[in-house]
Amino acid sequence: MKIGVLGTGIVGPTIAAKLAALGHEVAIGTRDVPSLMARTELGMGQKEPFSAWIAKNPAIRVAEFSEAAAHGEIVFNATSGARSMEALGQAGADNLSGKIIVDLGNPLDFSRGMPPSLTVCNTDSLGEQIQRAFPDARVVKTLNTVNALIMVNPQQVAGGDHHVFVSGNDAGAKAEVTSILKDWFGWRHVVDLGDITSARAAEMYLSIWVQIFASMGTTMFNIRIVT
Amino acid sequence: MKIGVLGTGIVGPTIAAKLAALGHEVAIGTRDVPSLMARTELGMGQKEPFSAWIAKNPAIRVAEFSEAAAHGEIVFNATSGARSMEALGQAGADNLSGKIIVDLGNPLDFSRGMPPSLTVCNTDSLGEQIQRAFPDARVVKTLNTVNALIMVNPQQVAGGDHHVFVSGNDAGAKAEVTSILKDWFGWRHVVDLGDITSARAAEMYLSIWVQIFASMGTTMFNIRIVT
């Protein structure tokens, strides 16, 4: 399948590499390709500059947001949540129309220091903002509740016996994304939280995720729902 | 120990009954005793009016908020979160000074319908509001992430192998509450989320708790942190 992945921080390359390893034709999107390739400073959690990473992943095409979105039959939003609306605007409504947008973003606001707050929450969410801005796309919020490594390899934690969530208005899109999570990434437990307004819940969960991270000293954790 | 429990919905009586069963002298507080005793309509989740419940629990004293707070060496806030500030104001700063306030409240706002939003979140929390309003009290936020039955009997779910959280500025108060959770209520895993600002995290978790409840059709669940 042709897949567009928007975002070149930690999450985008992790998702792109996994999809490429599964045999898909992946284009990874950024705002400006030459400046991305020239960048040498490392972002939060990055181990190497993007240029070094992409040199080891030659099957993945690097493109502007709009070209990556146009390429994808399905598009992953892996941009930082606070900038996702701008990035998707650059991707362009025409290039997203009719497509599933798998929204992985967390609208974290680090401007007040740590722990981050959210730029939007409680009565709205990034997932809803995206769905409203691109009414012809089918937004499914998922995977934002775990780190990038766990997103594509949940077996790394507790043998995969833990939960991930999906939110979205389109039942068919949610079913398709659930299949991607299970069949491609190896998730065993996918909980349908409801329509796209339930993205508020998945995004507000980040607040306790950050505190658990601070308490435990690792991001390699997830939650299992027990009854 | 003499304990004050503020609130006569589902949570207050459940906590009060557990504490009384453990041999403590419990006063349960309400705004107005005669109107509470006269009430016949049932609140959300209530199986019987308060008057019927208290008749079966004669060891528990029913009192105004102020008297229940004065009685307690430690005070549990089990009022509905949206009204907790008012209830604690009626309890009175003098009656709370120097004492641990175990804050179980969730500042849920049902005015927009279901699912509820929060009256305060993201950059503030009910726990912080209480600590600011009663600087001489030692507020510990806990147990608000599970239903009342699980609060006092965590073994009912997955043999007790799941997590609860504490937030607060006073390390001694958190240690004391952690002992109450473990030794009195039977909790095995208590995670210290940090100072009282981390109550934001515990309260914002309610958003996903509500959606998981809606998805699973039961409130008899909790989360286990897995690594």
Ordered DSSP codes for B28-76: EEES-HHHHHH--S--TT-SS-HHHHHHT-TTSEEEEHHHHHHH-SEEE
Task: Please tell me which residue, A113 or A210, carries the higher pLDDT value.
Answer: A210
Give strand ranges (E) for chain A.
2-6, 25-30, 61-64, 74-77, 100-103, 108-109, 117-118, 138-142, 163-168, 189-194, 222-226
Split at pLDDT 50, 70, 90, the class of B60 is very high
Give tens-digit pLDDT for B69-78. Answer: 999 999 999 9
- Token pair listed for A64: 């502007």
Tokens 């004391």 belong to B176
Locate all alpha helices (DSSP H) within chain B, ordered by sequence: 11-21, 33-38, 50-55, 65-71, 84-91, 93-96, 126-133, 148-152, 171-179, 199-216
Mean pLDDT of B55-68: 98
Give tens-digit pLDDT for A157-204. Answer: 999 999 999 999 999 999 999 999 999 999 999 999 999 999 999 999
Evaluate if residue A45 carries a pLDDT over 90: no
Are A191 and B212 an interchain contact pair (Cβ–Cβ within 8 Å)? yes
Helix H or strand E segment including A35? helix A33-38
- Using a 10 angstrom Cβ sphere, with 0-12 exposed, 13-18 middle and 19 or more buried, the burial of residue B109 is middle
Query: What's residue A110's pLDDT?
Result: 92
Closest Cβ–Cβ partner in B157, B215, B222 for A191? B215
Q: How far is A207 from chain B (nearest CA, A)?
A: 5
Q: Which CATH class is domain B2-216?
A: alpha beta
Interface probe for B, chosen from A211, A212, A216, A222 (most Cβ of B below 10 Å), is A211
Chain A residue at shortest CA distance from B118: A122
Are B201 and A215 an interchain contact pair (Cβ–Cβ within 8 Å)? no
Closest Cβ–Cβ partner in B122, B192, B212 for A225? B212
Torsion of the alpha carbons at B54, B57, B59 and B65, rounded to the nearest 10: -30
Do B222 and B162 form a contact (C-beta atoms < 8 A)?
Answer: yes
Split at pLDDT 50, 70, 90, the class of B113 is confident
Are A212 and B191 an interchain contact pair (Cβ–Cβ within 8 Å)? yes
Task: Give helix A126-133 / helix A199-216 axis angle, nearest 10°.
Answer: 140
Evaluate if residue A122 carries a pLDDT over 90: yes
Percent of chain A with pLDDT over 70: 100
**Which residues of B are less than 8 Å from A115 in CB distance?**
197-198, 201
State chain A's mean pLDDT as an integer.
97
**Which residues of A are less than 8 Å from B115 in CB distance?**
197-198, 201
Tokens 């073994």 belong to B155
Split at pLDDT 50, 70, 90, the class of B44 is confident
Range with lowest mean pLDDT among A28-32, A44-48, B87-91, B183-187: A44-48
Are A205 and B202 an interchain contact pair (Cβ–Cβ within 8 Å)? no
Are A202 and B221 an interchain contact pair (Cβ–Cβ within 8 Å)? no
Q: List Cα–Cα distances, A191 to A54, B200, B219, in angstroms.
A: 34, 24, 15
How many other C-beta atoms lie within 10 A of the C-beta of residue A188? Answer: 14
Are A212 and B224 an interchain contact pair (Cβ–Cβ within 8 Å)? no
Query: What's residue A81's pLDDT?
Result: 96
Q: How far is A226 from chain B (nearest CA, A)?
A: 5
Domain ranges for chain A: 2-216
SS3 assignment, position A166: strand
Nearest to A147 by CA among A29, A24, A9: A9
Are A205 and B210 an interchain contact pair (Cβ–Cβ within 8 Å)? no
**Which residues of B are less than 8 Å from A214 in CB distance?**
193-194
Q: For residues A54 and A12, what is the distance between their CA atoms, to the nearest angstrom?
A: 12
Nearest to B81 by CA among B209, B182, B206: B206
Give tens-digit pLDDT for B15-39. Answer: 999 999 999 999 999 999 999 999 9
Tokens 């730029």 belong to A119
Are B215 and A208 an interchain contact pair (Cβ–Cβ within 8 Å)? no
This prediction has a pTM of: 0.97
Evaluate if residue B114 carries a pLDDT over 90: no
Query: What's residue B205's pLDDT?
Result: 98
